[in-house]
Each structure stands twice: as structure tokens, then as C-alpha cells.
């Protein structure tokens, strides 16, 4: 389409076959001409973003946002369309998978499991387990709703450190071997289904969606999510709790399944506490110590009484208002005027003592 962001597909053939292979969150299509001499095969690797999907529909009724279309030869013609309303999805030419994606949790389970347990020293596992599960280098195929369902079923706190959760799987595997080293493959599968661990659920939960008797998500009716909602146990389910992780994605969980709800702390404070756990305790320096000693040695000055303060209630209110105001120092007077004012105030005091009226 004119608004599609993907590259042009240099493939021309009157009759060709499309085959597909999925790996994690990527899908590879191979276009093969029925006449081998007509055109060499062409590979396309798709990423779906949040809204990408394939839809088969009549060619005369193309859906909106159909950015790539493969037409059939039948009459009336139909079109296999790559539909992506938000245009977060993409395709690229060639057969290479993206380099930073690990083994697929569905089709390469053993390689996926070994890849995780072998690389637990990676700093990616310093993050909470809910964030680590979205790292496609190790969990290729796990998305936002799958991580919520997996952690909920195992009652794992989503903000537990990933390495702490996954290192326990190593110990569990060794204990299983010690208890019964002669377990057959069928017994191992039954044991896995009865007591699955986190990595096993990363395989079995997506398989539930893929192999469901009734299709959970129907591309022909993409607005109908009723069957999918009935399958969900945690994600978007009423009564569940949700928080945003550090990458801005919403994680759904159930507090009563594993304990108290984590307190959300501002990032700056979290970083400060991580660097210095005693950052919230004020440090006592020499300057602050001197100031505190000086304040303790100097007693506070008593408030000056205002004139008329004890005469009437109005005077009391005015006096309090004046005390609340900020006192600005008066300009310094010459020494002669200071002495004159002092003598005058002594004469006034003497007259009041003898009961005489003061001069105006």
C-alpha cells in the first residue's frame, strides 16, 4: 500500500506458493514460484507489533490498513493481507531471523531453557522477573499477557529479582535427578505437567493458545475477544491489580496470591537508595553542628509587648497581627538623638509615677 513502511517485494510470478515458519514473535514467509525457472524464491520476515495480523478476504473487499497483499488466481479472487492499523509491525527481505532474539519458547523449548539457565550471570536478570520475561533475547515469544498469566499461575511476585527466581530452577532440577535418575521421558512429561516451573509454563501457556479446540483469536473477526477473555485468568481480569514497570508496560497480578502490594517509589529516590541506602538519613557536618550549638547557647529573645495590648480586645488582636508581621529594623539614629530620647522616656516614667499628665 502507499502508506506501508515496509520495502517493496521484488517477486513476480503468475503462480506461486506461500509457506510459513514461526519463531518466537517473528514469522517468515517464503514465496516459491510453481515454475522454478520463472523466479527465485523470496523470503520475508515479519514482526507484528501490537496490531499486525494476516487476514484472508475477498479481493473486492480489502480491509483498511492492508499494507501488503497476495492475490489468488481463483474467481472471485481473494487476498491474503498483512493488516496493521497502528503500523508498528514491519517486514524485511531475506530469511535471517533478528539477531537479538533467542530460541523460540514454543518450537525450540530445550534450547530456550538452556539459553536462560546458562546465562543467568547476564545483567538482564538483575531486573524484576516481570521485566526480564519481556526480554526477547531469552524469552522469544513471551509478551505482556503471557507474562501475567505465567506469573499468576505460579504465584510468583512480579517484582521479585529474576535471577533469584530462575536460580531456584537449577536446584530443583538437580534434586529431581538425585531423587530418581531413571525417569523415562513420558514420566518426565507427566511430572512437568503436574508441577510445572516458570520456564516450562513459558512453553505450555502459549501452546494452550495455539492448540485450543476453539480458536481464541479469530483473524476473520478480530473484534470478537470473548473466547480469549474467557481463557484469561489474570490479564485484564476484573479484580486484579496492575502497575507500570520501568519500561512503561502494565503488569497485571493478584496481590493476595503472593503477599503485600509493592509500594511504588519515585525513580530518583529508588536510584538514590540503591547507590546509598543511608541517603535519607541527614549527615551531621561540622557546619551544621556549629549552627546547632550556637542556637542552643543563645536563648531566644522574648517578644516585645505592644502598646494597648492589655487595654481592650481590639488592642489584643492588633498586637497579635503586628507580631506576626515581619519586623524590619529601623534606621540607626545619631548618638545625640539616642541620649535625648532616653532622657525624655525617663521623665515620662517619673511623671506617670507621680500621677501627672504627660506632655503632648
What CATH number has the domain bearing residue 52? 3.20.190.10
Rounded to whole angstroms, the Cα distance separating 21 from 95 reads: 10
**DSSP for residue 355:** T
In a domain, 268, yes or no: no
| Radius of gyration of the chain from its Cα atoms, rounded to whole angstroms | 39
**d(Cα 225, Cα 237) in Å, to the nearest integer?**
13
Q: Which of 64-68, 186-190, 345-349 has the highest mean pLDDT?
A: 64-68
DSSP state of 219: G
**Which range, of 18-32, 58-72, 135-149, 332-346, averages the lowest pLDDT?**
332-346
pLDDT digits (tens, 9 = 90+) for 146-167: 999 999 999 999 999 999 999 9
Instruction: Return the pLDDT at 296.
Output: 44
CATH label of the domain that carries residue 136: 1.10.8.50
Domain that holds residue 82: 16-93
One domain for residues 69 and 150: no
Q: Please indicate, yes or no, if residue 313 is contained in any of the structural domains.
A: no
pLDDT band at residue 343 using 50, 70 and 90 as cut-offs: low
How many Cβ atoms from other residues are within 10 Å of residue 182's Cβ?
A: 6
Residue 57 lies in a domain: yes
pLDDT of 36 reads: 79
- Tell me the average pLDDT across 234-254: 92
Nearest to 24 by CA among 183, 297, 206: 206
Domain boundary among 39, 64, 93: 93
Q: Are residues 205 and 125 in the same domain?
A: yes
| Domain end among 40, 68, 93 | 93
Q: Do 22 and 56 fall within a single domain?
A: yes
Determine the average pLDDT of the residues in 190-215: 83
Indicate the number of domains in the chain: 2
The answer to whether residue 222 is domain-embedded is yes
pLDDT band, very low/low/confident/very high, at 140 (cuts 50, 70, 90): very high
The least confident of 199-203, 225-229, 241-245 is 225-229
What is the structure's pLDDT at 312?
44
Residue 334 counted as domain residue: no
Of 188-197, 211-220, 324-333, least confident by mean pLDDT is 324-333
Q: Could you give the 3-state DSSP secondary structure of residue 183?
A: coil
- Residue 235: per-residue pLDDT: 95
Q: What pLDDT score does 70 carry?
A: 92
- Tens digits of residue pLDDT in 269-313: 444 444 444 344 344 344 544 454 454 445 544 444 434 444 444
Does residue 352 form part of some domain? no
Q: How far apart are CA 67 and CA 89, in angstroms?
A: 10
Pair 116, 86 in one domain = no
Would you call 295 helix, strand, or coil by DSSP?
helix
Amino acid at each position: 500500500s502507499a502508506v506501508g513502511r515496509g520495502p517493496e517485494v521484488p517477486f513476480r510470478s503468475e503462480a506461486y506458493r506461500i509457506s510459513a515458519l514461526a519463531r518466537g514473535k517473528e514469522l517468515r514467509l517464503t514465496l516459491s514460484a510453481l515454475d522454478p525457472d520463472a523466479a527465485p524464491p523470496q523470503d520475508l520476515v515479519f514482526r507484528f507489533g501490537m496490531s499486525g495480523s494476516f487476514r484472508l478476504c475477498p479481493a473486492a473487499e480489502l480491509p483498511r490498513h492492508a499494507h501488503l497483499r497476495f492475490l489468488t488466481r481463483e474467481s472471485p479472487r481473494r487476498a491474503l493481507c498483512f493488516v496493521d492499523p497502528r503500523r508498528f509491525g514491519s517486514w524485511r527481505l531475506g530469511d535471517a531471523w533478528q539477531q537479538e532474539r533467542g530460541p523460540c519458547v514454543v518450537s525450540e523449548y530445550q534450547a530456550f531453557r538452556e539459553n536462560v539457565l546458562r546465562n543467568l550471570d547476564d545483567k538482564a536478570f538483575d531486573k524484576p522477573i516481570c521485566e526480564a520475561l519481556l526480554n526477547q533475547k531469552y524469552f522469544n515469544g513471551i509478551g505482556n499477557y503471557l507474562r501475567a498469566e505465567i506469573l499468576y499461575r505460579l504465584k510468583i511476585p512480579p517484582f521479585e529479582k529474576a535471577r533469584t527466581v530462575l536460580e531456584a530452577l537449577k536446584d530443583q532440577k538437580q534434586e529431581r535427578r538425585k531423587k530418581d535418575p531413571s525417569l523415562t521421558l513420558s514420566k518426565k512429561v507427566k511430572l512437568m505437567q503436574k508441577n510445572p516451573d516458570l520456564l516450562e509454563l513459558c512453553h505450555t501457556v502459549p501452546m494452550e493458545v495455539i492448540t485450543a479446540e476453539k480458536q481464541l483469536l479469530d483473524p476473520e473477526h478480530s473484534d470478537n475477544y470473548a473466547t480469549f477473555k474467557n481463557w484469561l485468568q489474570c490479564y485484564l481480569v476484573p479484580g486484579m491489580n496492575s502497575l507500570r514497570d520501568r519500561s512503561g508496560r502494565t503488569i497485571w497480578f493478584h496481590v493476595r496470591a503472593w503477599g503485600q502490594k509493592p509500594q511504588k517509589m519515585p525513580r530518583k529516590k529508588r536510584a538514590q537508595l540503591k547507590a546509598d541506602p543511608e541517603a535519607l538519613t541527614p549527615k551531621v557536618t561540622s557546619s551544621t553542628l556549629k549552627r546547632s550549638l550556637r542556637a542552643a547557647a543563645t536563648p531566644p529573645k522574648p517578644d516585645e509587648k505592644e502598646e494597648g495590648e492589655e487595654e481592650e480586645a481590639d488592642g489584643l488582636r492588633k498586637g497579635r497581627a503586628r507580631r506576626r508581621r515581619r519586623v524590619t529594623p529601623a534606621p540607626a539614629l545619631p548618638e545625640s538623638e539616642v541620649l535625648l530620647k532616653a532622657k525624655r522616656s525617663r521623665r515620662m516614667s517619673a511623671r506617670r509615677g507621680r500621677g501627672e499628665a504627660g506632655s503632648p
